[in-house]
Structure 1
Amino acid sequence: MASGPLKVCVCGGDNNSHLVAAFSASNPEAETRILDLNEEEATKWEEALEKEGGMVLTINEEGGTKREVKAKPRLVTSDPKEAINASDLIVLTTSAHDHERYLQAIEPHVGKNAVIIGLPGRPGFEYLCYKILGSKADLCTFLSFEEPSWTSKLVEFGVHVEATSAMQVLVGSIVRGRGICRRPPLMCLQMIHGSKPLFRPSRHFLEVTLSPNTFLRPAIIYGQWGNWDGKPVSEAPLFYFGVSQETTELLNTCSQECLDIAQAITTSEKVKMDATGVQDLYQWCMERFKGDYSTNADLYSMLTTIRQFSDLRHAMKEADGGLVPDFECLVEDLEAGLVVIKGIALITGVDTPKTDELITWCQEKVGKQYLVNGELTGSDVATSRCPQRFGLSTLEELAEGKSLEQ
């Protein structure tokens, strides 16, 4: 590795940002800066660090034990120039909603050897990076992961974060630019986090885009609330542990539609690309949650026995003396998820009736419009990450991540 400390810039201010910043800053070989574009938040975080002398990261170990480590970020700032300066890794840890804002803020300061990581990146991350960074993008290296590295809980803002559970394996894509990375990015991420999760590269970013994780949450929400009568309930239903056999069938069908898209890409004569690394949902869960479920007899049995999710419930809000579902998360699941999948399906010529059904229901619940009569012509496509928003219309452009028009 290059001499001197690994320079990491963590972008964001939520619990995941605290988590990655703490992991990085607890490693003596890393120099960690934090970019929080919310000036008030950045000031609060900076003051908390000064008062407490650093951060505390609590890591939940196997067997129920907990381990605490100290973390000392170099600085917290809302100034992109100060944060980005000579960073080896720029890690976007925010929700997909904020990626565009952060990319626009850092663009003037991104150098030719920049490594930009979406942790998680969510579908369409590469399309967004190419669009915002323009000619700089060809020099940059992009990584995009399916999920955050750990589930986490923010105990005290700016001071204390708890890493509650990690996947066994976290798959991410690497799009290498012409610039020379000062540090091997995947190895650096592994160094920061330690043994968990195991960061594994995919063969192409479209394999991560078509990951089952894309449809998992919205399909479970639809399965729970698709026939809801609109009346408040007394308590939030269990999320994974409340999945029905009918919902499991929906998940399997959505999984097969993604596999059909991957097969169409793999067998196309227009591009030489192997997308057979896309897994069905059962295989995906087997690998990511290995050892954390009671049985793997079938998908239903596995989803309803993953221990780390035993207490996870549907997001709810108070209304009329009870609780009603909070569908706000579906906007991200649409714009950086299902709508991207549909856009790829349209270009590859693959029918996706269940994905269409999911999009139609979800967009109605959040008052958005993307899919109209089977086409992505709705008024809200412009805020999504579907390839059509970025002018991509061919399989070659899908695979490249950018328009090939000169």
Structure 2
Amino acid sequence: MASGPLKICVCGGGENAHVVAAFSASNPEAETRVLDLDEDEATNWGDVIDKKNMMLTINENDGTKREVKAKPRFVTSNPKEAINACDLIIFAMSALDHEQYLKAIEPYVGKNSVIVGLPGKPGFEYLCNNVLGSKAVFCTFLSFEAPSWESKIIEFGTHVEALSAMRVLVGSIVRGKGICRRPPLMCLQMIHGSKPLFRPSRHFLEVTLMPNTFIRPVIIYEEWRKWDGKPVTEAPLFYHGISKETAELLNACSLECLEIAREMTTSESVRADLTDVQELHQWYMERFKGDFSNNADLFSTITSNKQLADIKHAMKETDDGLVPDFDCLIEDLEAGLVVVKGIALIIGVQTPKTDELITWCQDKVGKEYLVNGELVGCDVATSRCPQRFGLSTIQAVVDGRLMEQ
């Protein structure tokens, strides 16, 4: 193994960046920097850690809490300073901010760079290849299906709480021509400890087509599609408040993902083994093993999952009460549903439930992606679907880039 500490740059300024930075900085084998492109946030965070350590509170499986001290080497809004000589660049922010960060770091990305989406979300590889251009073939990209831990900031810059983590976190690895100083998957496991267990997929499209992409938009759709527009007094439970009809729609969306994966796996024109794409019930049972009391079906598995028990719908306050906050649906569309739909169109798979979801969600956020079953809306240009990047063949979708790149 190479000598010297592992140099890690954690990108972002929210709760996800806080918890990943704290886990990394608490490990003596890692030298951790933070890149926050919000100059005011970076200055405030840097001032805090100059005076005292970060505190990481970890919720253990047995209900106890463990506290760990952590101190990143520095926090900066300067990409050159943050990226210099890094072994691992971890994107720990909303997928909507990925493009901004990629463009900021692009001049300083070297031939051996490793860029990790934690989570990456569908279309991460397409975006990385597009922004980094000719550099991309030398870089290694990892993209995970979810954050490593659900977390919340107790005090900005100084105290973050790691609330819960899935048992298994699956991520793709697209290896470039450059040489990684240390195996990136092993590095992620090292800084996080035993939980979650980081596991590689066979192909990056397996992570893209995992059915968890649909979970949040489906639950929001089923909860609010018949809403009369009047404010409510209390936010409804998110996971534990779903109906059996919601579970049925989740299953239907899951089957559409499986059909896309089957078509690509059996295609005679490409070689893409996507046999590990799972239906949603199987996905839940593996990711949350031991956290539910009833796994008879998808509805029971979700509604008896103790990790998900207290989560409620995101709401906005008004003078008359609470109304749903649909803003999260933009990320679910641009780095989720629209990407899946784009792949389905190229493969030739019908996705009526995905279409139904996109149509409703885009209306709620004032966007336009899908028009008469085609991705020709004015907001496709801000999404991560393959069509945005000129990828129009099955081979290009599988490769993640145009061959001339």
Asked whether the two chains share a fold, i.e. TM above 0.5, the reply is: yes
C-alpha distance in structure 2 between counterparts of 1:175 and 1:389, whole Å: 21
1:301 is aligned to 2:305: no
C-alpha distance in structure 2 between counterparts of 1:319 and 1:364, whole Å: 21
C-alpha distance in structure 1 between counterparts of 2:352 and 2:296, whole Å: 28
Kindly indicate whether the alpha-carbon contact (under 8 Å) linking 1:338 and 1:359 is maintained by their aligned counterparts in 2: yes
C-alpha distance in structure 2 between counterparts of 1:19 and 1:360, whole Å: 35
Tell which deviates more after alignment, 86-95 or 57-66.
Answer: 57-66
Matches within 5 A, 1:21-170: 21-52=21-52, 54-170=53-169
SS in structure 2 at match of 1:62: coil
Size of the aligned set, in residue pairs, is 405
Q: Following TM superposition, by how much is the alpha carbon of 1:320 offset from its aligned partner in structure 2, in angstroms? A: 4.4
C-alpha distance in structure 2 between counterparts of 1:152 and 1:227, whole Å: 31
SS in structure 2 at match of 1:318: strand
Q: Following TM superposition, by how much is the alpha carbon of 1:226 offset from its aligned partner in structure 2, in angstroms? A: 1.0
Aligned to 1:4: 4
Aligned to 1:397: 396
RMSD value, Cα: 0.7
Aligned to 1:179: 178
Q: Following TM superposition, by how much is the alpha carbon of 1:319 offset from its aligned partner in structure 2, in angstroms? A: 2.5
C-alpha distance in structure 1 between counterparts of 2:254 and 2:230, whole Å: 31
Aligned to 1:230: 229
C-alpha distance in structure 1 between counterparts of 2:323 and 2:309, whole Å: 21
Aligned to 2:353: 354
Q: Following TM superposition, by how much is the alpha carbon of 1:212 offset from its aligned partner in structure 2, in angstroms? A: 1.1
C-alpha distance in structure 1 between counterparts of 2:198 and 2:92, whole Å: 16
C-alpha distance in structure 1 between counterparts of 2:113 and 2:16, whole Å: 22
| Structure 1 segments (4+ residues) deviating >4 Å | none
Aligned AA for 1:97? L
C-alpha distance in structure 2 between counterparts of 1:134 and 1:273, whole Å: 23
Q: Following TM superposition, by how much is the alpha carbon of 1:273 offset from its aligned partner in structure 2, in angstroms? A: 1.3
C-alpha distance in structure 2 between counterparts of 1:87 and 1:55, whole Å: 22
Aligned to 1:200: 199
Aligned AA for 2:241? G
SS in structure 2 at match of 1:240: coil
C-alpha distance in structure 2 between counterparts of 1:91 and 1:278, whole Å: 24
Q: Following TM superposition, by how much is the alpha carbon of 1:154 offset from its aligned partner in structure 2, in angstroms? A: 0.4
Task: Provide the TM-score with structure 1 as the length reference.
Answer: 0.99
C-alpha distance in structure 2 between counterparts of 1:257 and 1:65, whole Å: 40
Kindly indicate whether the alpha-carbon contact (under 8 Å) linking 1:232 and 1:320 is maintained by their aligned counterparts in 2: no
Aligned to 1:370: 369
Kindly indicate whether the alpha-carbon contact (under 8 Å) linking 1:235 and 1:323 is maintained by their aligned counterparts in 2: yes
C-alpha distance in structure 1 between counterparts of 2:363 and 2:61, whole Å: 42
Q: Following TM superposition, by how much is the alpha carbon of 1:233 offset from its aligned partner in structure 2, in angstroms? A: 1.1
* Superposed CA offset, 1:142-162 (max 9, x none): 000000000001011110111
Aligned to 1:13: 13
Between the two proteins, what is the percent identity of the paired residues? 74
* Superposed CA offset, 1:229-276 (max 9, x none): 111111111000010011111000000000000000001001111111
SS in structure 1 at match of 2:62: helix
Task: Provide the TM-score with structure 2 as the length reference.
Answer: 0.99
The gaps in structure 2 that reach 5 residues or longer are none
Matches within 5 A, 1:208-357: 208-357=207-356
Aligned AA for 1:282? H
* Superposed CA offset, 1:74-99 (max 9, x none): 11101000000000000000100100
